Amino acid sequence: MVKREETIAFFVEKAKEDFALVEKNLAGVITEIKNSNAKKLNYIEEFDAADVLRQVAELKKAKYKGKLFGVPVTVKDAICVKGIESKAGSKILKGYKPLFDANVIERARAEGAIILAKTTQDEFGFGTFATHTEKVPKNPFDNERSCGGSSGGGAGFTAFTKNFHVAIGESTGGSIACPASFCGSVGITPTYGLVSRYGLIDYANSLDKIGTIGKNAEDAALLLEVIAGYDARDSTSLQNGFKKEDAPIKRLAVIKDFFDGCDDEVKKVVQKKINELKKFYEVEEVSLPLNVKYALAAYYIIATCEASTNLAKLSGLRYGAQGEVEGKHFDAYFSEIRSKEFSDEAKRRIILGTFARMSGYRDAYYLKAMRVRTKLINEFNNAFKQYDLLLNPTMPVVAPKFSEIEKLTPLQNFAMDLCTVPANLAGLPHISVNVGFGEESKMPVGLMAIAPHLQEKRLYSFAKVME
């Protein structure tokens, strides 16, 4: 059980009375950043000590002491922070320093948060293991293993730090839930549109969701409460907000199809926790045959199509990396920069997406995938007519070793997203909570709970029971 004294809300309550607690906690976090960098754990992408000290000085004078007063917040590299290099884990955006804050950063600052640093991620979110980046983050439980992707740096540092801290992540197909599971943290991915995407460097517009990663459900939910809400600058933004309140839950269902596809070590840990849940809820099994059969294919067609469109604006002229322009035709210059600065994984997804949305193929692939997506959402909605929450292991495996990841083919990499992609494709809110450690690997195992649209309160209530 999480003690109240271990939560950020308790820290903020005390810090409002004694600012020295803010300075002491921050000093501890900065020391941990230096230690993690010295050990080459690679959680932190960009850290500006002078900017952090400026924020602390402003907080000290502030009259309003908000919900995150003095709390250090790390931010996934794909989210823009004014004046701080924001390159979404890529080489092509190196040197890009936004002239504005993303909406979530504005909201966090308004409640007294200290924007601490940018965290490592897969390039543009393209990956499951945070290995598609120059500095690969290492799992704090075993440095030879992955932190998970693409929000690997945020989850890794959350598990690594002993001080009060919370992370802003982003998910397209599971990029919050996966690293939360591999690192034993709590990751909340909200309903699509609940949190503004203004200031997010896009991967796939119809799938991207900004969420939170914390040591416990209280911390992750508090940050979500702060960053959720309507923003006129995002056309997909919803009028709804989120409040950290309980909601009634009676019936749960384990998604049998996803459970069957997991390693025995993961099954054993998750099944033990499900047996314990039967003391609190009615727990049954449910099958989602369409999602298990078609979700991955539909997701990767839609995601790569949208990614190839989004990345077209990166031509080496306006943002980031640039080359010698004189004497070159635009097409030649454009191709040269993109060939040099994009990774193999980015090129793979650009080529797949461009092919699937070409004239003559768009109906056969992209539009068909969108129609399939609607059927998958309907299958979820039918299940929610009977059950309050749906459960499955967050990931089919514990955090794999880097030596194991190197042997995987691109298709095997994509298949690792089996359990996380369906909820993300449907835009449904979900939470990953640690439920124990594998007997053999000694690595964390996550359980994912999925709620109907805009029912984040159910996730919060469930996670508190889990903890």
Please identify every residue annotated as catalytic: 76, 150, 175
135 to each of 89, 222, 236, 254, 376, how far by Cα in Å?
Answer: 9, 30, 33, 37, 36
CA atoms within 13 A on the CB side of 148: 41
> Residue 27 in 3-state DSSP?
helix
CA atoms within 13 A on the CB side of 337: 26
Q: How far apart are CA 11 and CA 4, in angstroms?
A: 9
Contact in structure between 373 and 350 (CB atoms under 8 Å): no
Select from 295, 262, 277, 296 the least CA-distant residue to 398: 262
Contact in structure between 457 and 246 (CB atoms under 8 Å): yes
Q: How far apart are CA 467 and CA 465, in angstroms?
A: 5
What's the Rg (C-alpha) of the chain? Answer: 21
Contact in structure between 22 and 137 (CB atoms under 8 Å): no
Contact in structure between 165 and 195 (CB atoms under 8 Å): no
Q: Which residues, at least 6 apart from 326, have a Cβ–Cβ distance to it below 8 Å? A: none
Q: How far apart are CA 306 and CA 203, in angstroms?
A: 7
> What is the torsion angle, in degrees rounded to the nearest 10, for the CA atoms of residue 117, residue 118, residue 120 and residue 126?
160
Contact in structure between 390 and 450 (CB atoms under 8 Å): yes
Q: How far apart are CA 463 and CA 432, in angstroms?
A: 9
What distance lies between CA 72 and its chain's CA centroid?
18
Select from 376, 354, 223 the least CA-distant residue to 297: 376
Select from 164, 141, 8 the least CA-distant residue to 446: 141
